[in-house]
Structure 1
């Protein structure tokens, strides 16, 4: 029933309500500069009215709840943009370091060293017999090799650095997931919707979610209380209420996916490392030790590796002895017993059986201790991200830089180095120097001496360059007289000279052809799976025209050795014997004339000649060596500019979204001071009301 006591209650409730408002305002002011703090406000609600004469009478005000100002829709947009911002920020930072490596200054660089290399061959063509010119050529060649090695080493170091950054981010992501799951549990305990809001816990959770979005791309679903679900954009659950699922950065793996009914019980194996993931898909059923066939993809099976002519490569599954070398030479693949990789597989493969080889450290999502999924960020050949993996955040930036960008630069630098090796060796191997050979050791070996050299299972680095043709040898006695010459005969039983066929002839066949053709003067053997030629007593030999590419592919009479940016080097024999630098050649009469510059001129002309250069991602291109290297430098510059543009674009959008969120949830000191005065006056008025009610009570008491 209304009365003086009701007035006292109205005043009392008003005091409590406005005191709560003042406390919340004070908390806002105190946390005005606290990162992640969202402005809070007391929701005031009219107290229950009482039906009475002359009508309903109010019973005052009550503080219904303390709520925070927060726009979930803007926050979701912000987290998406922040994830992309961090991706391109990390990518741009890293690419700037690569740009420095490829900066061609006046004092040096691969471009300048390459130009000097060809210039030296031009000088040698003018003075073929001059020792100082030959020495200068070797010195400048080493400068070129050092520049290539240094760039390659620095790219490798940048990749290793990314591994360290990834490790740190993965550890932090797992810490964040654990903290969010813990906070979800606390919110469920402490929060009662509409009455008791866990604002401080929600602020902490939102701050953690923001940090998580900066590490990887996420979806955030709030079902109320602590029933929050966080997944990657690809759908891998990271947090589900109080449960969380770890991600791990782990060593190389091989994943197997067999079609229903497949009887394959053995394993696929590999050696080597690569920046690509390889999908091996069986296309012809059969035994895994010599009958089944498969294709290999670097984009999850959308397209398959092609040869230099643009045709899909079909490989034959086989054992370790006949292991397949992939086109870029990074890894070899074979099938073997599940308990011993060196033993042949005994089961059959079915069409559709698929194996994923991940020859590098990758990112994995664990549903439980035994069930995991590969979520390593992957940039496809067309530049898009694999939508079934992590796509954003700093992790996306680190992985895409390590695998796609540096991986691409390394492969192109390797292809550039291989092209130098092959093109120079191809010419040099058909020439002659100042001295004749009594001993020649091949620098390139095979994995199986009985397999055709043009087969991918031979393991010969430049086996794909071999062609049908032949090579000529010239043999001399101690007096310098020509005693034998001509091409090799690869089949004595057939009339006439039978040429070399890369699809049929093995290293053993090459050895036999030399022994059968020139056995009286030269002994050919195979040592450590490499061809070795030894002149018999009182004889020496020189190499002539080679239409097959055998000499260059086997590393005999060559200028370079190695097959990539990491190991390209001067041929050890030439480094110690500069007289074996081939400036001239054997003429039609079997003579090596003093002052002949035929070979030196041809190598010098390589500076302006288009050559075919192959990479798995770009296929075959035809450019000069200098143009190809310049295209690599151009790729680095374009990628750096692209990452900078995308970073600035997404940063601008993220900053705008953050500003919009701050407009909603940020603390405005002017507004808080205004509210403080408002509620201070309201508090004073409520106190005055209590004072008036007290006076009314005193008046009534005095009437007695």
Structure 2
């Protein structure tokens, strides 16, 4: 029969097994809040039984329990899905962060954003078009232009700064990858050593390694393969980052962007010692950072390029309209943006980079100096007073007049002579005569710093401008004639139908009653009947006019004067006499637009064209969009990108949370479950101890209470 002492070992094994169970429960409870920890369980199995021979036969009797293993609860398939989705989540979160930064740079959620600046610039031209003589309005246009240029420059600088900051972020992330992979290689070595016998399980070391894979997956796309010896092989970006107990060290290389020489980009990430192999990550935060820095489709580079395109449009297309117009000093061919000496539409700018266009954007310095407001080209033509000069090689003179002519219909012949040319021949002072040079005004009139002289003649203030020239001599004369229409010489009429007959203002008489505020006038045939227009010959017989851009019209038709072929109508105290040429192309919907202002010397028609250039006219530079439409499209794209990023983050976060819940259901520590296990192992331990006590009593009886007869 079996020895009574054999039961002691059985109970001892039971105590050991329950103690191990209690220790494992304690380990689980202690690490219930530890990141990356996996619940551990004790696997128990019965020991090999003993064969007992008794009563002529044999039978098996149990010899106790043994701890087979302590293993962690983990599902590798859930882990691999988690690692994949973590990469996507962090990629989207990084995109959302930088798109929010771009939205802040453009400031479209505030009243001071780029759109507000563009609208203010356009509004200033609209105001100038109806008040072109007012210097305060011109100053507003100039300052709004400065504001726009500064806003574009600042936005470009902030975008570049954000892009340059990405370099530091990438370097930090690469250093973190190097730390993670080095630690994973170290853990690989430890795990292989622990599990070398094939029976032990490096549970806590494996948890640490899997947590590192979680962290690595947030940075880059990660593929993990477990080798037969328990080590991980980790691949990403087309290379192996961890292989056994060795890891790759990653480095970065930076270069200046080809389009922006003050914008540094991370050109490649490579394994130390292999600079020719550029890693191509397909997911994770680093992929998002590199795309945001370099992509001209979705990243910072796209928005930089858009600012460059806007700058190019202002320097080329907008300037072209401004250069074609005239300032109040009758100067023309002036840039509004950029340097005064550069024609940005010529071959001189053919080698400009995208960065050059942004850097070149500024309001013309010649406009910013004292008196420079006069160069703002609000009108489409200069003075209409013809000038003849005796010295063909001397300065050319430009003349225009304001005021009310006091000589009726009698013209005044005016002669101006140079009285004191400076060395080497520029004009310093002049005198003038109104009787063909027989008598002169007698007092030299000095030219100002801008080569202008203001001369009052017969109720008109005559502005004389002389170009810079070194060939003038004393006695040079300039001759022109003033009439009762001299103050009206700057009417410029634009017509909606280029194929229709041209129109002109024959005369403008009377005293303007609208002060310094200009009046925009639109004229068109009264209606489509034959009483208003003969479409066969193109003769217009009746017209109507509007002073509010065509919203309301005069209600009584203005009939043509059959003798002169003109139309006369009264606007703000001024009687306008207008002639429209007969042409077969004339239509009932044709419109003629012009501006009437005090003195009519500062027409705002070119300001209207410049406003249209900003708001409605399309340009091939902007992809056949208007500037307003181009910018709205840009901001619309930014808004959609931001919404997509937010939606991706929300959806991906939901998915990651769900996978994490699955992982927790397998690996997480449930305190209620652990309390149940604790009670189970505690009761098991107590029961084993009680059995051991009973066996002790049996042995005591056997040893001390038997063997002596009669005791």
Under a length normalisation based on structure 1, what TM-score does the superposition of the two structures give?
A: 0.63
1:191 to 186, 195, 201: 195
The corresponding residue for 2:464 is none
The corresponding residue for 1:429 is 323
The corresponding residue for 1:110 is 114
1:570 to 354, 359, 363: 363
2:266 to 361, 365, 390: 361
The corresponding residue for 2:252 is 249
The corresponding residue for 1:256 is none
- Give the drift of 1:7: 1.5
In the alignment, is residue 403 of structure 1 matched against residue 407 of structure 2? Answer: no
- SS of structure 1 residue aligned to 2:60: coil
The corresponding residue for 1:626 is 628
C-alpha separation in 2, matches of 1:58 and 1:697: 20
Q: 1:412 to 1:12 in 2, by over 3 A?
A: same
- Give the drift of 1:442: 6.3
- SS of structure 2 residue aligned to 1:583: coil
**Cα contact 1:184–1:225 (8 A) shared by 2:** no
Moved over 6 A (4+): 437-442, 587-592
The corresponding residue for 1:227 is 231
- SS of structure 2 residue aligned to 1:362: strand
The corresponding residue for 2:141 is 137
- Give the drift of 1:146: 2.1
- Give the drift of 1:460: 4.8
- SS of structure 2 residue aligned to 1:631: helix
C-alpha separation in 2, matches of 1:372 and 1:454: 39
Q: 1:460 to 1:78 in 2, by over 3 A?
A: closer
The corresponding residue for 2:392 is none
> What does the per-residue CA deviation read over 1:131-161, in whole Å, with 9 as the maximum and x for residues that have no partner?
3332221111112222222222222222233
Q: For 1:54-453, list aligned pairs within 5 A.
A: 54-104=58-108, 107-192=111-196, 194-232=198-236, 234-252=237-255, 273-274=257-258, 330=260, 360-366=265-271, 368-375=272-279, 389-404=280-295, 405-433=299-327, 434-436=329-331, 444=342
Q: 1:598 to 1:80 in 2, by over 3 A?
A: same
The corresponding residue for 1:25 is 25
- SS of structure 1 residue aligned to 2:233: strand
**Cα contact 1:245–1:365 (8 A) shared by 2:** no
C-alpha separation in 2, matches of 1:62 and 1:671: 23
**Cα contact 2:121–2:145 (8 A) shared by 1:** yes
The corresponding residue for 1:666 is 668
C-alpha separation in 1, matches of 2:313 and 2:108: 20
The corresponding residue for 1:678 is 680
In the alignment, is residue 459 of structure 1 matched against residue 351 of structure 2? Answer: yes
2:619 to 612, 615, 622: 612
C-alpha separation in 1, matches of 2:647 and 2:623: 29
- Give the drift of 1:370: 3.7
Question: Which of structures 1 and 2 has the bigger CA Rg?
Answer: 2
**Cα contact 1:583–1:596 (8 A) shared by 2:** yes
Under a length normalisation based on structure 2, what TM-score does the superposition of the two structures give?
A: 0.62
> What does the per-residue CA deviation read over 1:294-345, in whole Å, with 9 as the maximum and x for residues that have no partner?
xxxxxxxxxxxxxxxxxxxxxxxxxxxxxxxxxxx5479xxxxxxxxxxxxx
| Equivalent residue pairs, number | 481
C-alpha separation in 2, matches of 1:105 and 1:674: 56
Q: 1:587 to 1:443 in 2, by over 3 A?
A: closer
Query: Which segment drifts farther, 686-695 or 433-442?
Result: 433-442
**Cα contact 2:252–2:270 (8 A) shared by 1:** no
- Give the drift of 1:410: 1.6
C-alpha separation in 1, matches of 2:341 and 2:697: 111
C-alpha separation in 2, matches of 1:183 and 1:427: 70
C-alpha separation in 2, matches of 1:42 and 1:230: 30
In the alignment, is residue 38 of structure 1 matched against residue 38 of structure 2? Answer: yes
The corresponding residue for 1:492 is none
> What does the per-residue CA deviation read over 1:183-203, in whole Å, with 9 as the maximum and x for residues that have no partner?
111111122465211111111
- SS of structure 1 residue aligned to 2:378: coil
Structure number with the bigger relative contact order (C-alpha 8 A, sep ≥ 6) is: 1
Q: 1:648 to 1:439 in 2, by over 3 A?
A: closer
C-alpha separation in 2, matches of 1:417 and 1:439: 17
- SS of structure 2 residue aligned to 1:634: helix
C-alpha separation in 2, matches of 1:130 and 1:455: 35
Query: Which segment drifts farther, 682-691 or 64-73?
Result: 682-691
**Cα contact 2:322–2:333 (8 A) shared by 1:** no
Q: 1:2 to 1:643 in 2, by over 3 A?
A: farther
> What does the per-residue CA deviation read over 1:340-397, in whole Å, with 9 as the maximum and x for residues that have no partner?
xxxxxxxxxxxxxxxxxx972234130x41444223xxxxxxxxxxxxx212222223
The corresponding residue for 1:255 is none
- Give the drift of 1:33: 1.5
Q: 1:667 to 1:106 in 2, by over 3 A?
A: closer
**Cα contact 1:418–1:563 (8 A) shared by 2:** no
- Give the drift of 1:606: 1.1
Q: 1:610 to 1:602 in 2, by over 3 A?
A: closer
The corresponding residue for 2:375 is 580
C-alpha separation in 1, matches of 2:669 and 2:229: 25
- Give the drift of 1:413: 2.1
- Give the drift of 1:443: 5.1
C-alpha separation in 2, matches of 1:691 and 1:136: 103
- Give the drift of 1:567: 4.2
The corresponding residue for 1:49 is 49
- Give the drift of 1:418: 1.7
- Give the drift of 1:645: 0.7
CA RMSD of superposed structures (Å): 3.1
Q: For 1:515-554, list aligned pairs within 5 A.
A: none
Gap regions ≥5 residues in structure 1:
253-271, 275-328, 333-357, 376-388, 447-451, 463-561, 615-619
> What does the per-residue CA deviation read over 1:616-645, in whole Å, with 9 as the maximum and x for residues that have no partner?
xxxx62221111111111111111111111
C-alpha separation in 2, matches of 1:105 and 1:668: 47
